[in-house]
Structure 1
Amino acid sequence: MAVGHDPHTGLHSERGALAGEHPGRAANPVVKAHDLAWLEFEKPDLRRAEAFARDFGFTPVLSTGRELHLRGTDPGAPCVLIRRGARSRFLGPAFRAAARADVLRLAEATGRPVAALPEALGGVVVDLEDPSGLHVRVVSDTDDLPALPPQEPLVHNVGHGAPRANATLRPPRAPALIQRLGHVVLQTTKYRQTLDWYLHNLGMIVSDFLYHAGNRDRGPVMSFIRCDRGTTPADHHTVALTLGPANRYVHSAYQVADLDAMAAGGEHLRERGHRRSWGIGRHIQGSQLFDYWRDPDGFLVEHFSDGDLFDSTLDPGWAPMSASGLAQWGPPATADFLGVRPGRQSLRELRAVFSALREDNEFDAQRLLGLLKVART
């Protein structure tokens, strides 16, 4: 029997580092962040933002006309905070410290004050800035909201196993209930500085590095980094950093119960007139099932399920970056997802390219050629 060609040969990242390459972790980090706490945005129309949030599967817990807090079904703090502003913009991530002492240690190491968070959240915060200029918060002792009734995974007859007998599957065409915030992806013109900042200050560790094919000797251009919880497994990536011509938000991801919830929830979003960017498929780095959508303000948001979990013993993998290497199966990555769809988004990116090439940063002509090659492969 002839064996079919595997288009992903050479794209998986089980291969490790070469001598002298980045180790993927700091030798003596200041603290070790426990998880992402929430993401903060500004948007001009909170009513429109709330309508999409409900369709996407969030539960609003605070809606004042000036501020909107969105949560998942897991216990904890809200996972998205939106304030009313003159324009739509991403303000930054907040990370949860393992203990209040870590917030105090980080404040002392960086020379930043510790402040009380608003009463609606509780707890304390130290406000930092990464090398890209992004506002990064580290919090502790926030008030935990109780769990909500979850959307339970469906029972499947897999292979010869038949746990579901005399019963049918009828997943409702309804919002896929968000369980929790999973990760945020950020683009930076100062990739190496920014990566090392997160590894040193927040104790994060790299799960996978990607590099431009043929230019591995220049170092990686993307990293998927996770929280270091020791022997307790953590998400394959809590933050992903990629080198690009502008410092910006790329997307954020929110866990749902399973593939049926994702697919039926996607049908609900489509019927409500929302725009799918790319999906459904399964990623390579992280392995998660994915489905990407654009909210009314143009932000890219992802439903995901069934992602990898790594403990602190695993060293980083290394792989070349390519558009086809983004997924094991599913439709090809779209122009919208890659940021090359004709329109305002691609024009902004083009202007950013010309600006970045004139400035002193890590995005140079060779990196631009590598990025263009990625989009074509």
Structure 2
Amino acid sequence: MDLETPQDVHHDLHVDQGALPGEHPGRHANPVIKVEDLAWLEFEKPDLARTAAFAADFGFTTSLHTDDELHLRGALAGPPCVIVRRGPRSKFVGPTFRAAALEDVHTFAAGVDARVDRLPETLGGVVATTRDPSGARVQVVAGVRDLLALPAQQAVLHNTGGRQERFNATVRQPREPAQVERLGHVVLQSNRYLETLNWYLANLGLIVSDFLFYPGQRERGPVMSFIRCDRGSTPADHHTLAMTLGPANRYVHSAYQVRDLDVLAQGGEYLRERGHFRSWGIGRHIQGSQIFDYWRDPDGFLVEHFADGDLFDCTLEPGWAPMTASGLNQWGPPATADFLGVKPGRESIREFAAILNSLRESDNEFDVQRLLGLVKVASS
């Protein structure tokens, strides 16, 4: 290697080719239903007042707040992004997906041997509830009541190259929360990654946008997938759900769209000044291309502001790329120990214990070779 030639750490990471012969196709030929989007995420937390205070700083609007339940919404029309119920300890309950029609909920329920129930009047519609192979509660809903859109955060007119739109005016954005517009995606970790991935493709009709594999282990198959809704010719977010192989079945993070980079950056400054902990950012991802900024809420959950993500229709086949820490972003600071889950502390101790448990058990996909691949990723 020529030591005087700069090495591009992103070389070969924007991979456009699809699967090699015999590799995962990234979709099911005949899924039970095709969901349209994520509806909301559900959590349990012991202190709803503290949760509501951080949510306001992060840019949510509260649409319901009782002694036992908190609904957090975005500015765009739709259901709440997050539902938090009072519980003895903080935990992620599971994702809720939105179907196109009531009939789809009944079809899904029949396919997974679940019943269909009515949702509370605060939400409207019907729901079918089951669990994925990793144990996360999964709901499919239809007929839910959409909240009306809220006034949007003011956009900045940008002067760029040959397109000049701002005259006799300056950019002086107020230091305020970055208004959350909508829920974008959730990332889950599973020690039964492939089984769980196939369950979502078969039952919800999701399709894979990108696969990642451990360097040197492509022949063993992918270990992470970015998965979108199949809306036919209508473009959908690059990923609504992302799944990764790991020693424990757990929530990794969730992401919420804001208007643009200016709003994201000013909102980040507001969070920093309020004493909140930035996990990683600001930067631009490779898979999905979105500008990101990651924060920890008071209960330790990782949440993301994002803007300017990719949109794919049903025609694009999955991309394949090696998983590396340096390949997580096109620009921005290196991924932090907190974001990678290797920062010393309670969470890293739990993950280490999960590694030992998974290696002792034989009924999961996380083995010694996968552990070595994960260590290689974290140290890349």
TM-score interval, normalised by the smaller of the two chains: over 0.9
Alpha-carbon shift at residue 13 of structure 1 (Å): 2.4
2:197 is matched with which residue?
195
1:185 is matched with which residue?
187
| Letter paired with 1:164 | R
Q: Does 1:304 align with 2:293?
A: no
Separation in structure 2 between the aligned mates of residue 7 and residue 193 of structure 1, nearest angstrom: 32
| Letter paired with 2:38 | L
1:371 is matched with which residue?
374
- Return closer, same or farther for 1:141/1:172 CA change in 2, 3 Å cut-off: same
How many residues align? The count is 376
Q: Is the partner of 1:313 in helix, strand or coil?
A: coil
TM-score by structure 1 length?
0.98
Separation in structure 2 between the aligned mates of residue 11 and residue 144 of structure 1, nearest angstrom: 39
Partners of 1:223 and 1:242 within 8 A in 2 = yes
Separation in structure 1 between the aligned mates of residue 157 and residue 360 of structure 2, nearest angstrom: 56
Alpha-carbon shift at residue 3 of structure 1 (Å): 8.2
Q: Is the partner of 1:260 in helix, strand or coil?
A: helix
Alpha-carbon shift at residue 159 of structure 1 (Å): 1.6
Separation in structure 2 between the aligned mates of residue 164 and residue 313 of structure 1, nearest angstrom: 38
Q: In the TM superposition, what whole-angstrom CA distance separates every residue of 1:64-86 from its partner, at most 9, and x where no partner exists?
A: 12100000001011010000100
Alpha-carbon shift at residue 4 of structure 1 (Å): 5.2
Partners of 1:291 and 1:302 within 8 A in 2 = yes
Alpha-carbon shift at residue 312 of structure 1 (Å): 0.1
Separation in structure 1 between the aligned mates of residue 336 and residue 157 of structure 2, nearest angstrom: 32
Q: Does 1:329 align with 2:328?
A: no
Q: In the TM superposition, what whole-angstrom CA distance separates every residue of 1:189-236 from its partner, at most 9, and x where no partner exists?
A: 000100000000000000000000101000000000000000000000
Partners of 1:15 and 1:319 within 8 A in 2 = no
Gaps of 5+ in 1: none
Q: In the TM superposition, what whole-angstrom CA distance separates every residue of 1:109-135 from its partner, at most 9, and x where no partner exists?
A: 222110001111110000011000110
| Letter paired with 2:366 | F
Q: State the 4+ residue runs in structure 1 displaced beyond 2 angstroms.
A: 2-6
Separation in structure 1 between the aligned mates of residue 243 and residue 351 of structure 2, nearest angstrom: 17
Q: Does 1:15 align with 2:38?
A: no
| Letter paired with 1:288 | Q
Q: Is the partner of 2:138 in helix, strand or coil?
A: strand
1:113 is matched with which residue?
115
Which of residues 95, 104, 111 is equivalent to 2:106?
Answer: 104
Separation in structure 2 between the aligned mates of residue 160 and residue 323 of structure 1, nearest angstrom: 36
Mapping of 1:310-321 within 5 angstroms? 310-321=312-323
Alpha-carbon shift at residue 340 of structure 1 (Å): 0.3
Q: In the TM superposition, what whole-angstrom CA distance separates every residue of 1:322-364 from its partner, at most 9, and x where no partner exists?
A: 0000000000000000000000011011011001111120000
Mapping of 1:147-166 within 5 angstroms? 147-166=149-168
TM-score by structure 2 length?
0.98
Alpha-carbon shift at residue 274 of structure 1 (Å): 0.2
Separation in structure 1 between the aligned mates of residue 297 and residue 162 of structure 2, nearest angstrom: 41
| Letter paired with 2:369 | Q
Q: Percent identity at matched positions?
A: 69
2:365 is matched with which residue?
362
Separation in structure 2 between the aligned mates of residue 209 and residue 43 of structure 1, nearest angstrom: 33
Over the aligned positions, Cα root-mean-square deviation in angstroms equals 1.0
Separation in structure 2 between the aligned mates of residue 3 and residue 174 of structure 1, nearest angstrom: 44
Q: Is the partner of 2:156 in helix, strand or coil?
A: coil
| Letter paired with 1:102 | D
